[in-house]
């Protein structure tokens, strides 16, 4: 029923909205009385994580009231639980749109008649593990990259795998391994739980676009935050940390003899330390030593097969990469809804670990899979081998097995900034929907002037329906060495701490080496060599915002599934998924460590 | 919900500022979505909706914070809030646990609210509240991320509180110079107030740790009887008797009713507090909180048992008034808490 808005516009005038940020020292009563500008967000609510414009407060109150009345009138708890279970929620900080979303849910349009009602009653809590990326998907083929292509019985496919590549000047273009079977096999139309788990549970109000979203990007605080999780004091090796910091400080002020002495001291201290701290300290000490002695560190771009191998071990050991792939795939899947031809451009192609799960989900899609094209961009292999081609072959085999029409192209590029949109053979957007995906790659461009800007302009030319980005959530690219060092020390300490619960294994050791190489690059390198230039979500969001991208929010369905994925991991109790401004972060306890965000082209004004 | 919904909503709207109304109504709405009829909580949605903030070792408004895993076996985390140091702008990790340097520094061991089932130490509402406490009281605050119901019912929250008390008590860097001891106060709102009471009880029984005082903000107590305030205020100011019942059922052991001492410390089933070692208490009661009568009964019970208690009865305050500094109750309470924990100075 209608309600006069004026009822909500006369707060008790004794207590107008408090304007300034809290500083409640001494007599706190003095700080009360400042009324805020109408246009700005309510500052007090902003401090508590809610973005509501003062001018919209009354409307938001009205929506709350409407929802409450509706829920109060609902006789059966079942309807209420649908709102909780089946509705996908987005960005709860934006109260206006969050409430609107629910109000829409409560008055849903009638469902289309062809939907099988049994499909809808499956509980969202059942989770089909087939959709989880990783070993399960690669069950058919060995994880070794040396596996020859010819272990399948269809010789026609083999020929396209091993056909010679045509060489271009700066990139290697691989021939496509085209799937010729287009089976819309009727046996695959059974709707399993995995369909629900990857497909959107609610197709309505999926990605909410409004000018509000751009504002929320800008309002993200720019002061740095140092978030620290310490394991109980006795364990954290204060002397060791002290020596590391002092050494870094000495390096920064170019007092190399002091730095040298401290590096040696760190070595001794590290040996007597236990657990994660010992390992972290050792890597940081080695990196400091390299910096002091100006030893050129192992240049990772020379040996990509090693990098790939290490990354695979890291993938197996802990959930970070799986989370990255899973959440990015979720956003891609949602963006590809209803599209008959889709194209993924992967800036982070190494072993292609992300794609089997997406292909699986597309195969199980209601209405059948789209035609799936994948362009993988990766760095050159040291031994000249065509590893991108091999990856393509494996994916082609999978595509055949799951009856997805598949096309693949690999591009070798030393830097993403070498890419031009024309190389990618884009098709008209009416016929093919494109997703661009980048996992832990964009930060590498920050060492080169104009690098990231070039890549972002290429992405815009591609006109993707979605641009998924996963990056480390930390500020490792500041101008002051000591600050970078300190941030990195905390970041990697937390990361290594999260690995402590993993039983010792080859995988685990290699994972630590993988992280150690990042530490080494971060600490010992400068200029173009320093590629591990991690930045935070707020920094990336500013960059994307000013480059013409708008956020595409990840919702509660992705959050829940990511959380459930984590529960499968040994020691999973410390991992946490957090939602922030429509992005999902995976962290260890209270410290976010990686962030998945999704972007689309901002609407033209 | 009892009563006329239209009237209820208008009534609650007249007693709090609009943004407070929006905040608390939002929580009420979210919590209604999260509570399932079968007594479970939609935990994934709860964590998705909860607005969290990281700790920050860079001082903001004169306060910095960091997180510590105080018990690895149960992943018990606490967030420590400290006043910024006079010298230098940013404490390095070495300085986070720098010894407090005053003769007397109160340390508040804080238990956030949420009816035993909601929120965390890193929830934005509680991070903000704890920072304000440090700013006003010039103290250290340690906020405990205790395990929640229904997944972890009684006595998990109390056990975690006890572990945290022992942890705080044994931190050398929290010892006041005057007597080389940690000057500990227990504090909490809603379920946190209940936890503070129970941890103080246990401390008194164990006898080793001296708790200097309890600060209970709208503490969560109840019982089988329907008190006058519960009947009169049911559904009127953001809270319903039904939801209170739900949370007690989620927290208390299966089969127990609300006369369990955890819910009703002065029930016939509870043991007498007379003669027990128990700290002085500051109990803040919001007059429009439907469990007001239980809270007032708690105060009476403490008095009858011979324990020192100061009551602040804020007749026009609702639940959650202390979450925003836009009302006179907030400021009055903060000043009282500061006086309470700094009484020795």
A23 contact residues in B (CB cutoff 8 A): 61-62, 135
As given in the structure block, the two tokens for residue A351 are 């072993």
CA dist., res. B127 & res. B122, Å (int): 6
Give me the residues of chain B with pLDDT under 50, please: 1-3
The per-residue pLDDT for B14 is: 87
The mean pLDDT value of chain A amounts to 76
Percent of chain A at pLDDT above 90?
Answer: 53
SS3 A173: strand
Q: What does residue B130 show for φ and ψ, rounded to 5 degrees?
A: -65, -40
Catalytic residue among B119, B143, B190, B191: B190
CA dist., res. B271 & res. B30, Å (int): 37
Give the pLDDT band (50/70/90) at residue A79. Answer: low
| Chain A interface test: which of B26, B43, B50, B328 (most A C-beta within 10 Å) | B26
Average pLDDT on A39-63 reads 92
Does B23 contact A48 at a Cβ distance shorter than 8 Å? yes
The per-residue pLDDT for A329 is: 97
The per-residue pLDDT for A73 is: 67
Q: Would you call B276 an interface residue with chain A, using a CB distance cutoff of 8 Å?
A: no
Q: Would you call B339 an interface residue with chain A, using a CB distance cutoff of 8 Å?
A: no
Short-list A473, A445, A413, CA closest to A531: A445
Give the pLDDT band (50/70/90) at residue A11. Answer: very low
CA dist., res. A312 & res. A510, Å (int): 9
B17 contact residues in A (CB cutoff 8 A): 11-12, 15-17
CB-nearest to B54 from A12, A48, A590 is A590
B280 vs chain A: nearest CA distance in angstroms? 24
Residue of B nearest to A35 (CA): B326
**Chain centroid to CA B40: how far?**
23
CA dist., res. A199 & res. B13, Å (int): 41
Q: Would you call B40 an interface residue with chain A, using a CB distance cutoff of 8 Å?
A: no
CA dist., res. A75 & res. B66, Å (int): 46
Note the pTM of the prediction, 2 decimals.
Answer: 0.84
A36 vs chain B: nearest CA distance in angstroms? 12
B238 contact residues in A (CB cutoff 8 A): none
Q: Which residues, 6+ apart, have CB-to-CB distance to B35 below 8 Å?
A: B41, B243, B246
Render A394-463 in DSSP notation, one character per residue. Answer: HHHHHHHHTT--EEEEEEE-SSGGG--GGGG----TTT-EEEEEEES-GGGGGGSTTHHHHHHHHHHHH-
B211 vs chain A: nearest CA distance in angstroms? 23
A193 vs chain B: nearest CA distance in angstroms? 18
Q: Would you call B26 an interface residue with chain A, using a CB distance cutoff of 8 Å?
A: yes
CA dist., res. B59 & res. B82, Å (int): 9
A58 contact residues in B (CB cutoff 8 A): 18
CB-nearest to A229 from B69, B71, B90 is B69
**E strand residue ranges, A248-353:** 341-346
Does B14 contact A12 at a Cβ distance shorter than 8 Å? yes
CB-nearest to B75 from A89, A489, A574 is A574
CB-nearest to B22 from A64, A71, A563 is A64
Q: Are A594 and A473 in contact (CB under 8 A)?
A: yes
Best-predicted range by mean pLDDT among A16-25, A286-295, A542-551, B88-97? A542-551
pLDDT digits (tens, 9 = 90+) for A520-558: 999 999 999 999 999 999 999 999 999 999 999 999 999
Residue of A nearest to B22 (CA): A61
Q: How far apart are the first and last CA of chain A?
A: 36
Best-predicted range by mean pLDDT among A12-21, A131-140, A343-352? A343-352
Helices (H), B185-309: 191-206, 228-233, 241-251, 292-304
Residues in chain B: 345
Rounded to the nearest 10°, the torsion over CA A135, A138, A140, A144 is: -90
A224 vs chain B: nearest CA distance in angstroms? 8
B84 contact residues in A (CB cutoff 8 A): none
B67 contact residues in A (CB cutoff 8 A): 227-230, 589-591
CA dist., res. A515 & res. A500, Å (int): 14
Query: Is the confidence at residue A230, as pLDDT, over 90?
Result: no
Q: Are B285 and B314 in contact (CB under 8 A)?
A: yes
Burial B52-73 (b: 16+ CB within 10 A, else e): bbbbbbebeeebbbbbbbbbee
């Amino acid at each position: 029923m209608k309600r006069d808005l004026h009822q909500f516009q006369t707060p008790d005038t004794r207590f107008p909205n408090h304007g300034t940020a809290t500083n409640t020292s001494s007599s706190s009563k003095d700080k009360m009385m400042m009324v805020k500008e109408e246009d700005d967000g309510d500052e007090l609510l902003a401090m508590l994580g809610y973005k509501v414009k003062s001018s919209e407060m009354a409307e938001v109150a009205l929506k709350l009231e409407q929802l409450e009345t509706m829920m109060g009138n609902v006789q059966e708890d079942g309807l209420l639980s649908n709102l909780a279970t089946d509705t996908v929620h987005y960005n709860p900080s934006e109260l206006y749109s969050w409430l609107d979303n629910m109000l829409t849910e409560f008055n849903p349009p009638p469902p289309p008649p062809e939907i099988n009602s049994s499909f809808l009653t499956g509980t969202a809590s059942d989770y089909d593990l087939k959709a989880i990326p990783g070993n399960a998907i690669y069950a058919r083929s060995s994880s070794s990259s040396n596996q020859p292509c010819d272990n399948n019985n269809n010789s026609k496919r083999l020929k396209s795998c091993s056909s010679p590549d045509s060489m271009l000047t700066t990139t290697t273009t691989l021939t496509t391994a085209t799937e010729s079977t287009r089976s819309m096999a009727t046996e695959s139309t059974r709707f399993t739980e995995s369909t629900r788990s990857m497909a959107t549970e609610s197709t309505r109000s999926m990605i909410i676009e409004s000018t509000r979203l751009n504002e929320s990007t800008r309002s993200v605080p720019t002061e740095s935050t140092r978030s620290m999780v310490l394991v109980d004091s006795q364990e954290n090796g204060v002397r060791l940390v002290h020596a590391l910091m002092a050494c870094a400080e000495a390096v920064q002020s170019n007092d190399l003899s002091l730095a040298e002495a401290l590096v040696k001291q760190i070595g001794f201290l590290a040996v007597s330390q236990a657990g994660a701290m010992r390992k972290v300290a050792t890597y940081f000490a080695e990196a400091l030593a390299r910096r002091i002695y100006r030893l050129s560190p192992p240049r990772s771009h020379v040996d990509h097969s090693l990098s790939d191998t290490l990354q695979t071990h890291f993938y197996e050991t802990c959930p970070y990469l799986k989370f990255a792939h899973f959440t990015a795939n979720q956003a891609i899947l949602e963006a590809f809804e209803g599209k008959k031809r889709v194209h993924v451009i992967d800036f982070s192609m190494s072993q292609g670990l992300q794609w089997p799960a997406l292909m699986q989900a597309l195969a199980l899609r209601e209405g059948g899979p789209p035609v799936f094209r994948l362009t993988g961009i990766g760095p050159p292999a040291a031994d000249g081998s065509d590893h991108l081609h091999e990856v393509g072959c494996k994916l082609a085999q999978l595509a055949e097995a799951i009856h997805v029409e598949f096309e693949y192209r690999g591009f070798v590029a030393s830097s993403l900034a070498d890419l031009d949109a024309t190389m990618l053979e884009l098709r008209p957007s009416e016929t093919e929907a494109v997703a661009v995906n980048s996992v832990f790659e964009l930060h590498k461009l920050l060492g080169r002037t104009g690098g990231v800007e070039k890549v972002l302009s290429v992405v815009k030319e591609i006109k993707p329906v979605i641009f998924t980005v996963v990056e480390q959530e930390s500020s490792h690219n500041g101008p002051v060495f000591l600050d970078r060092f300190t941030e990195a020390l905390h970041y990697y300490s937390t990361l290594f701490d999260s690995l402590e619960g993993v039983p010792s294994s080859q995988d685990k050791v290699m994972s630590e080496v993988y992280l150690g190489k990042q530490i080494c690059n971060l600490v010992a390198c400068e200029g173009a060599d320093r590629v591990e230039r991690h930045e935070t979500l707020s920094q990336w969001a500013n960059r994307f915002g000013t480059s013409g991208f708008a956020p595409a929010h990840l919702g509660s369905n992705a959050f829940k599934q990511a959380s459930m994925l984590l529960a499968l991991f040994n020691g999973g109790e410390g991992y946490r998924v957090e939602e922030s401004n429509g992005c999902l972060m995976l962290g260890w306890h209270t410290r976010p460590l990686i962030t998945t965000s999704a972007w689309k082209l901002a609407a033209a004004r | 919900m009892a009563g006329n919904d239209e009237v209820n909503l208008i009534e609650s709207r007249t007693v709090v500022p609009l943004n407070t109304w929006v905040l608390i109504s939002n929580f009420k709405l979210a919590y209604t979505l999260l509570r399932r009829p079968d007594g479970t909580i939609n935990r994934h949605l709860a964590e998705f909706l909860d607005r969290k903030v990281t700790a920050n070792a860079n001082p903001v408004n004169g306060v910095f914070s960091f997180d510590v895993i105080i018990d690895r076996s149960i992943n018990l985390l606490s967030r420590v809030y400290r006043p910024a140091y006079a010298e230098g702008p940013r404490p390095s990790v070495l300085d986070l646990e720098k010894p407090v340097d005053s003769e007397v520094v109160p340390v508040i061991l804080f238990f956030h609210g949420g009816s035993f089932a909601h929120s965390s130490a890193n929830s934005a509402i509680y991070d903000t509240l704890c920072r304000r406490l440090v700013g006003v009281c010039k103290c250290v605050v340690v906020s405990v991320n205790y395990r929640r119901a229904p997944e972890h019912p009684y006595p998990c929250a109390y056990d975690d509180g006890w572990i945290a008390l022992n942890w705080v008590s044994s931190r050398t860097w929290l010892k006041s110079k005057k007597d080389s001891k940690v000057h500990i106060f227990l504090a909490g709102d809603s379920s946190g107030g209940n936890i503070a009471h129970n941890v103080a009880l246990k401390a008194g029984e164990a006898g080793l740790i001296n708790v200097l005082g309890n600060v209970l903000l709208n503490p969560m107590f109840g019982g089988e009887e329907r008190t006058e305030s519960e009947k009169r205020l049911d559904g009127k100011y953001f809270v319903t008797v039904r939801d209170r019942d739900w949370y007690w059922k989620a927290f208390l052991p299966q089969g127990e009713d609300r006369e369990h001492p955890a819910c009703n410390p002065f029930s016939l089933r509870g043991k007498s507090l007379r003669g027990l070692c128990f700290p002085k208490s500051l109990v803040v009661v919001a007059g429009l909180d439907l469990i007001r009568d239980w809270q007032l009964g708690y105060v009476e019970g403490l008095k009858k048992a011979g324990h020192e208690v100061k009551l602040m009865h804020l007749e026009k305050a609702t639940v959650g008034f202390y979450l925003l500094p836009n009302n006179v109750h907030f400021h009055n309470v903060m000043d009282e808490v500061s006086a309470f924990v700094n009484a020795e100075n």
